[in-house]
């Protein structure tokens, strides 16, 4: 496995982020937003300029962390709101998201990137239980066109389990990718997202597995992994607090060992959701974790 990081976690200035990533031994990067734009909003000129900087610092983009199919309703009557006003996300109709995917595929080609992150539609305010069989059927239907587009472009879509979407657990997203059986549609597994999923909104059959059990059950479908740590703080309105890696509740040493034992060949990408100084500390901690397990950069 190889280490990776999302650049806007390190510095909002793209070039400064590249310098710091290179210095700390992270030659592989994931891009969510640069120059105040999400990847799906970049112009082709922006993409060429970004690629020049990427080449200058001898980096490689492994994932474009788009927000496609996040802020758009699964059902016409769904009522949506942004979960974090500060989080840059593309907002539009389903048709507009499909059009944005077509553009993002062009951006990926310019940057030499083979993977694009996508979501399972924002969970609505006007429904309690989400992600049941009916929802999954609709999500499968919505992804028929995007998957075909990705296959034609030779790019892989990575479906992330997200606590703000219909499919918070990796076992739920796996049911979608299993339907297509396409090498161009895989899972982006985020164990912290699974950990913080709202239990009373998910069908009971998805609630019993530990993170280690969940990972083992979806292992062969994983195309990419996000790494962040969380600490549960009782009596808080938002009880799951981002923590420096290794100081939260998630047993990453055990998770990384399972990945190593299973000969995972993909990337583990830091998405700390912390301030810059704490992100830098987490980068150093992650290096130490992997090196203690004799996992090369």
Average of per-residue pLDDT values in the chain: 94
**pLDDT of amino acid 235:** 85
> Is the torsion defined by CA of 80, 30, 163, 215 positive or negative?
positive
Burial class (CB in 10 A: 0-12, 13-18, 19+), 92: middle
Mean pLDDT within 249-253? 94
- Terminus-to-terminus CA distance in the chain, angstroms? 8
Please tell me the pTM assigned to this model: 0.96
Q: Residue 32: is its pLDDT beyond 80?
A: yes
Which of 9, 14, 7, 12 lies closest to 64, judged by CA? 7
Q: Residue 86: is its pLDDT beyond 90?
A: no
User: Beta partners for 61?
Assistant: 29
What's the token pair of residue 234? 């009782």
Q: How is 68-86 classified by DSSP, letter by letter?
A: ETTBS-SSTT-----S-TT
**pLDDT of amino acid 84:** 78
How many C-alpha atoms does 181 have within 13 Å on its Cβ side? Answer: 1
pLDDT band with cut points at 50, 70 and 90 for residue 198 = confident
Mean pLDDT within 81-102? 89
* Tokens 């062009």 sit on residue: 106
User: Beta partners for 268?
Assistant: 3, 225
**pLDDT of amino acid 297:** 59
**pLDDT of amino acid 200:** 86
Mean pLDDT within 2-7? 97
pLDDT tens-digit map of 163-194: 999 999 999 999 999 999 999 999 999 999 99
**Residues with Cβ within 8 Å of residue 276, at least 6 apart in sequence:** 9, 10, 11
């Amino acid at each position: 496995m190889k280490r990776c990081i999302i650049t806007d976690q390190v510095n909002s200035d793209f070039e400064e982020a590249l310098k710091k990533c290179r210095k700390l031994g992270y030659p592989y990067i994931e891009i969510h937003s640069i120059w105040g734009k999400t990847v799906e909003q970049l112009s082709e000129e922006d993409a060429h300029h970004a690629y020049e900087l990427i080449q200058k610092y001898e980096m490689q983009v492994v994932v474009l962390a788009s927000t496609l199919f996040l802020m758009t309703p699964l059902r016409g009557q769904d009522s949506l709101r942004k979960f974090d006003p500060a989080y840059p996300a593309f907002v539009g109709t389903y048709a507009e998201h499909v059009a944005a995917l077509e553009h993002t595929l062009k951006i990926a080609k310019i940057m030499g990137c083979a993977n694009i992150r996508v979501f399972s539609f924002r969970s609505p305010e006007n429904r309690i239980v989400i992600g049941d069989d009916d929802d999954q059927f609709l999500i499968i239907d919505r992804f028929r066109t995007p998957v075909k587009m990705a296959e034609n472009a030779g790019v892989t879509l990575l479906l992330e389990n997200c606590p703000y979407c219909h499919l918070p657990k990796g076992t739920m997203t796996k049911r979608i990718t299993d339907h297509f059986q396409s090498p161009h549609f895989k899972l982006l597994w985020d164990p912290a997202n699974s950990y913080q999923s709202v239990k009373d909104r998910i069908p009971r059959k998805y609630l019993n597995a530990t993170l280690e059990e969940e990972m083992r059950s979806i292992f062969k479908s994983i195309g990419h992994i996000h790494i962040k740590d969380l600490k549960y703080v009782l009596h808080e309105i938002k009880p799951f607090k981002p923590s420096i890696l290794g100081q939260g509740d998630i047993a990453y040493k055990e998770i990384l060992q399972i990945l190593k034992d299973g000969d995972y060949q993909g990337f583990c990408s830091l998405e700390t959701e912390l301030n810059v100084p704490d992100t830098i500390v987490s980068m150093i901690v992650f290096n130490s974790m992997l090196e203690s397990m004799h996992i090369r950069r």
